[in-house]
Amino acid sequence: MNKPLRANLVSRLSQGDSLSPFVRFQLLVLISMYIGYAALMLCRNTLAACSVQMMQDPTLNIDEASYGHLMAWHSAGAIMGKLVTGPGSDLLGGRRMFLLALSLTAIANVGFAFSSTFTLFAAFNFFGQAAKAGGWPAMVQLVRSWFPSTRYGQVWSVIATSSRVGTIAAGLLFGFLLTLLDWRSVFLVSAALTAVIVFVLYFTLKEQPEDAGLPTLLDHEDELRSAELRSAELRSAELRSADASGKNESSTSADTDTKTLAAQHALDQTTLWQACVTFAQSGRFWLIGLSIVFLTVCMDFVHFIPAYLAAELDFSAASSSAAGTAFPMGMFAALLITSFYYDRLSKLQLIGVIGCQLLFSVAAVLLLWRLDIIPESVQAEVAIITIFLLGLAISPAYYVPMSVFSVAFGGKHAGFLVAVIDIFGYAAAMLFNYFGGTIAKDHGWPTFLSLLLAVTLLATICMVSFLTLDWKSTRSTRSFRG
Is the pTM for the entire model greater than 0.75? no
40 has pLDDT over 70: yes
Residue 100: pLDDT band (50, 70, 90) is very high
241 has pLDDT over 70: no
Segment 320-366, tens digit of pLDDT: 877 878 888 888 888 778 877 777 888 888 899 999 999 999 999 99
A 10 A CB-CB count for 252 gives 13
Instruction: Return the pLDDT at 295.
Output: 92
Mean pLDDT over all residues of the chain? 81
174 has pLDDT over 50: yes
Instruction: Return the pLDDT at 417.
Output: 84
Burial of 270 (0-12, 13-18, 19+ CB in 10 A): middle
Burial of 227 (0-12, 13-18, 19+ CB in 10 A): middle
Instruction: Return the pLDDT at 236.
Output: 61
H or E element that contains 21 = helix 21-44
Q: What percent of the chain has pLDDT over 70?
A: 84
Instruction: Summarize the confidence of residues 392-414 as an average pLDDT.
Output: 82
133 has pLDDT over 50: yes
Instruction: Return the pLDDT at 114.
Output: 92
Instruction: Identify the weakest region by mean pLDDT among 190-194, 275-279, 335-339.
Output: 335-339
| DSSP structure string for 362-373 | HHHHHHHHTGGG
Pick the residue with more confidence: 419 or 368?
368
Instruction: Return the pLDDT at 255.
Output: 44
Instruction: Return the pLDDT at 169.
Output: 84
Residue 235: pLDDT band (50, 70, 90) is low
Three-state secondary structure call for residue 79: helix
How far apart, in whole angstroms, are the C-alpha atoms of residue 436 and residue 444? 10
Q: What percent of the chain has pLDDT over 90?
A: 23
Segment 212-228, tens digit of pLDDT: 788 777 776 767 667 66
- Planar angle of CA 72, 76, 80, nearest 5 degrees: 170
140 has pLDDT over 90: no
The residues near 237 (Cβ < 8 Å, ≥ 6 apart) are none
Taking the mean position of all CA atoms in its chain, how far away is CA 313?
30
